[in-house]
Amino acid sequence: MRLSTDEKLRREIAALYDVLGEALGTEKVVMRAGKLGTLKEMRSSAIPERLLALQRLVFEDPTLETRPAKAQYKQVIAEIEDRLAYLLAQRTVGDQLEAKVSAKMVARHNEYLRELRLEALREATGPETPATEKRLHDLTALDRRGLARAALDVLRPKSLGQVVGQEPAIKALIAKLASPYPQHVILYGPPGVGKTTVARLALERAKSRAHAPFAPDAPFVEAAGPTLRWDNRETTNPLLGSVHDPIYQGARRDFADGGVPEPKLGLVTKAHGGVLFIDEIGEMDPAMQTRLLKVLEDKRVSFESSYYDEHDPNVPAYVKKLFRDGAPADFVLIGATTRDPEAIDAAIRSRCAAVYFEPLTHVQVARIVREAAQRLGAKVTRRVPELIASYTIEGRKAVQVLADAYGHALERAGSQRAASVREEDVLEVVQAGRIVQHTPARARRRKVIGKAHGLGVLQYVGSIIEIEAAAFPARETHKGSVRFNDTAGSMARDAVFNAASVIRAVTGVDPADWDLHVNVVGGGNIDGPSAGLAFFLALYSALDRIALPQDVAVTGEVSLAGAVRGVGGVVEKLYAARQAGMRAIVIPRENARDIEAAPEGIEVIVVATVVEALAALDLRIPAPPPPRTRRTKVTR
């Protein structure tokens, strides 16, 4: 039976109502119809009324009032079908998402139940497993096993009286530390002379003084300047402390779960109430030195973090206190360095007193070896201390060589009772370690033409500089040349040319008539003009064929006017001359006040001009060159 057009249309509309009810649910369709006021049209049998109601329900538009005309039926039905297709697709996707969410919730619930069961099991049986118990047993066995103390721990001085050669520095440091108002201090001096040991023992001495502010348990916190590094993100700062943010920097798990930043205290807080000792403070990052300066001023360290919320109930009280008040950092800074003061931030230097440690002499190093041998319980032959002292001026290095030589003696003798350190044991140590004698240039009781001994300083350690000069008549008049090894540096080259000009002014000899060759034996960069006097004497000796004494060392800058100007490091240079066995040292008159007392066995000669230097060395003083006559032009 064939259906009429209207009947087909009614069935199609009814089918669309069924689809709508499937997409939204029958109850929701009825509720929407009541809300939109279209129940009457929805129950009507008239096609325009039912289409209008269907439009309102599908598009949720109560403003639709016009009933579709017969010519618009197909277009309206097509729009309704498109909208219903969209609603069905949305319903399908929603069902799928809801299914996934339900599945994940079930999985998490099951995981949570599993963790609860495991936690209950751990509480009942403990966290230990056979593997962890075995590791604990191994660690306990390792703790029970141990070697004797290191040799340096045994040989390190246990009291200030055992420190050799630094009595003035010890007295100065005690005066600055054991006071009601202790000062920050920087210790300058060569390596291996006892700066760290003296700083540690000085704090112990200060604790025994009733007027000093240090408590009996005041800490001595030690750090190495080259290892104190930081980055701009402040993820780590072992000196001042840092904040471990919960996301990027690995805070504790309980902090990270609650989004709480975790402050980490630095060495300045651990040293609160005591001493913070920074070895090689001159090697610290300049930015770190600047930050340390602020801590010295504020005596506290502040912490900041964009993750911190003071109103967060999950933040522990101590974290709130650190962020609110900062961490205390009231300590005395003692820095040690082998570099020049200019390597340290000027603001830090201005807040720190300076104490200088002296270089050790040959006699003092030998004494250190003898006393270390007593603490080590080792027998040594008579010449062993002097032999070791000839290879180093560092007390720490000397006791290391002694400890190694004692090991050779034990291996040779087979027992401690029969072991005795001999010279051959020391020679085996220095040969195996490729150690060379500290002062290869030694004084000689003879005179040599064209050779002078200058003096230099590096890291508060003086050294002898051997300078040679040779002079040959130039092949052509006034076309002589000056040769000089470039490795010595531009300042040394300038000092050579200054010396040549002074020779011409003093003796009247024109260096341009000679081929001059100046050499610094062994090479090396001479960073400064202090070898000027040595260059002058070597050239003067080579040109005038006068021999120079080889047991006198000289230092001083030579000006073009022939004056001997002051230089730096005179004390260290004096010790170097004494170490090399020189009988005398010539220094500028301007440096005379730098030396309180010369070491025994060496004479200090002060001069103001090169002529006085020649006289001090018993050399022939040249007659002054005749004055040059001035030519005048005669006009007729």
Do 30 and 70 belong together in one domain? yes
Q: Amino acid letter at 295? A: V
Q: What is the per-residue pLDDT across 580-632, written as a single tens digit (0 to 9) for each?
A: 888 899 999 998 888 876 667 788 999 999 999 998 888 877 666 665 554 44
Burial class (CB in 10 A: 0-12, 13-18, 19+), 615: middle
Do 346 and 370 belong together in one domain? no
- Pairing between β-strand 482-484 and β-strand 514-520 as defined by DSSP bridges: parallel
Give the number of residues written for the chain. Answer: 636
Say which of 242, 390, 463, 530 is annotated catalytic.
530
Q: What is the per-residue pLDDT across 337-394, written as a single tens digit (0 to 9) for each?
A: 988 888 888 888 888 999 999 888 888 888 988 888 888 888 888 888 988 988 888 8
In angstroms, the CA 458 to CA 491 distance is 16
Do 350 and 376 belong together in one domain? no
Q: Amino acid letter at 569? A: G
Is 269 a domain residue? Answer: yes
Tell me the range of 93-107, 192-206, 428-442, 587-601 where mean pLDDT is highest.
192-206
* N- to C-terminal Cα separation, the chain: 156
In angstroms, the CA 416 to CA 127 distance is 49
Is 24 a domain residue? Answer: yes
**Number of structural domains found in the chain:** 4
Residue 468 phi, psi dihedral angles, 5° rounding: -115, 150
Do 306 and 162 belong together in one domain? yes
Q: Which of 356, 373, 399 corresponds to the end of one domain? A: 356
Q: Which of 332, 356, 380 corresponds to the end of one domain? A: 356
- Pairing between β-strand 482-484 and β-strand 547-549 as defined by DSSP bridges: unpaired
Do 11 and 48 belong together in one domain? yes
Residue 265 phi, psi dihedral angles, 5° rounding: -75, 145
Do 333 and 192 belong together in one domain? yes
For residue 572, which of 393, 445, 444, 400 has the smallest C-alpha distance? Answer: 393
Is 150 a domain residue? Answer: no
What would the DSSP string read from start to end of 490-558?
HHHHHHHHHHHHHHHHHH---GGGEEEEEEETT-----SSTTHHHHHHHHHHHHHT-EEESSEEE--EE
Mean pLDDT value across residues 62-89: 82
Q: Does 530 participate in catalysis according to the annotation? A: yes
Is 627 a domain residue? Answer: no
Tokens of 46: 């008239």
Do 178 and 241 belong together in one domain? yes
DSSP-based helix, strand, coil % in the chain, nearest 5: 50, 15, 35
In angstroms, the CA 466 to CA 520 distance is 6
Is 629 a domain residue? Answer: no
Do 312 and 348 belong together in one domain? yes
Is 199 a domain residue? Answer: yes
Q: What is the percent of the chain with per-residue pLDDT over 90, rounded to a whole number?
A: 17
Strand stretches in 316-380, DSSP E: 327-328, 332-337, 352-356, 379-380
Say which of 195, 379, 397, 573 is annotated catalytic.
573
CA 84 to chain centre: 72
Q: Amino acid letter at 513? A: D
Domain CATH for 215: 3.40.50.300
Q: What is the per-residue pLDDT across 432-468, written as a single tens digit (0 to 9) for each?
A: 888 877 766 677 888 999 999 988 887 777 888 888 9
Is 441 a domain residue? Answer: no
Domain CATH for 594: 3.30.230.10
Task: Quote the pTM value.
Answer: 0.67
Under 8 Å between Cβ of 154 and 401: no
Other beta carbons within 10 Å of 444: 13
Under 8 Å between Cβ of 170 and 198: yes
Is 480 a domain residue? Answer: yes
Q: Domain of 517? A: 447-616
Q: Which of 307-311, 421-425, 610-614 comes out lowest in average pLDDT?
A: 307-311
Q: What is the per-residue pLDDT across 234-250, written as a single tens digit (0 to 9) for each?
A: 567 788 888 877 766 55
In angstroms, the CA 546 to CA 604 distance is 23
In angstroms, the CA 400 to CA 617 distance is 41
Residue-wise over 170-203: b if at least 16 C-beta within 10 A, else e? bebbbebbbeeebebbbbbbbbbbbbbbbbbbbb
Do 351 and 370 belong together in one domain? no
Tokens of 563: 């004056």
Do 352 and 366 belong together in one domain? no
Residue 86 phi, psi dihedral angles, 5° rounding: -65, -45
Q: Which of 356, 385, 419 corresponds to the end of one domain? A: 356
Q: What is the per-residue pLDDT across 144-184, written as a single tens digit (0 to 9) for each?
A: 776 555 666 677 788 888 888 888 899 999 999 988 999 99
Do 481 and 418 belong together in one domain? no
Domain CATH for 387: 1.10.8.60
Do 341 and 387 belong together in one domain? no
